[in-house]
Structure 1
Amino acid sequence: MRIDVLSLFPNMFTPMRESIIGKTIERGLVDFQVTDFRDYTDNKHNKVDDEIYGGGQGMLLMPQPIFDAMDAIEAEAGSRGRVILMDPAGKTFNQAMAEELAQEEHLTFIAGHYEGYDERIRNLVTDEISLGDFVLTGGELGAMVVIDATVRLLDEALGDQMSAVDDSFSTGLLEYPQYTRPADFRGMKVPDVLMSGHHANIATWKRKEALRRTYLRRPDLLTDYDFTKEERQLLKEIKAEEANEI
């Protein structure tokens, strides 16, 4: 996968070369490029923003530097790829979107700053993505989050690819509780079933606890969840157990 980012602050992306993402770059799974689109301005003062026509607060990013930077990426890579604009007005990012983006060969992110974008910049864009109903000072942090969530899903990115399969949201549920040694830590014990070696019982426990955690913390995720017959019975048990806890 090739990933391009257009940003006025390329050094912000240095941490992307660490940890799992850094390893994917080192191993050639990802070609990661950050372009400072200020380098493409034709303004003699290197300006990339200007006042808003019709009045308004703040400054808008001008289209020319971003269009020219995008042309340069296309000339080098052969395509612009799927172009993602980080914008609070975009579609809220989730795990399903990460899984979709992970199937692409080329992603290009536009990380803006200031008051926003000249509307004509959206003509370059295939997707507008937001992290949620809040506003950041720029699109860099949002782009990093989307890139991280996407790259870790690539084949061979994780040591055990099943790690991504069991992640929260990948199954439609939050992830079940997990434990490691010691089996008894300050009186807090690992559930016996996890040390039983009985794979079927362990699988049922994991499914039930994933349902329990989702029911208690994010019941909204269950609204459109496609329950199996076994899961409906497990949820019934969970509701009865939780009612008795109150």
Structure 2
Amino acid sequence: MNNQILCSDIDGTLISDSKRVAPQDIQALATWQKHGHLFGITSGRSLDGIKMITRQLEREPDFIVALNGAYVSSITRHIYESNISKVMSRRVLEIVRQLPSEKITVNINRQSRQLVQCVTNGHTEVDEMSLLQQLEDGLEIAKITVLLKLSDDSQLFYEQLSSLPVEITTSDDRYIEIMQQGISKLSGLTTALEQQIPLERVIAIGDYLNDIAMIKSVGAGYAVANARPELKQVADYQTVSHNDGPISHILNEQRRMNR
């Protein structure tokens, strides 16, 4: 098989609506890796969120792209982290706090923290005043995620943030995600491969807008059946939905194509 690297998004792609990896996909991935091929995760999730899912697999991924590329564990196990500057983080937070949202989450030191006025659960929350002070003291944020009250509000956020030198994307109808400028799943995948493997040898699978650049740039880009129309338009191939074990379908198809 010419393509020896496989990477997959998680939500809406690798896992079903029940948040499980299909048994046939677990087996397909185990066989893929046993034959010397590499498998990686390319997700907007935090590292902890990714590990909750990869514990279902027989083998650990060979590389991980988390936080839409802001955190990368490469094929040589090097760790790369990209943060929004403290000045820009503060500016982004000033804007999004004035717009209609249900929840704002910041990723700090590989962990997710919900921004709140007053902390009630120190493990998952950070109060606004404390965070702003930590930014003044040099803290840097990897990603800011806004859960919208209404999906129709996304255009408002794009308009308000478009003049800032940051990367803005969406991973669901109601999620806006902000990273350092130039950071994406594609940049994370390129970093993860350590310039040892060309993108032409990569099979990538996704479902949403934050997957578009990566799907367009690899040798075989797949959109699951439940993917957004914008992703389907740029994908090389389409496959079954996230509820029907797409990984096993894709690998079987690739074997047939490369006989």
- Using the size of structure 2 for normalisation, the TM-score is 0.34
Q: Relative contact order, CA 8 A, sep 6+: which one is greater? A: 2
Please, what TM-score do these two structures have when normalized by structure 1? 0.35
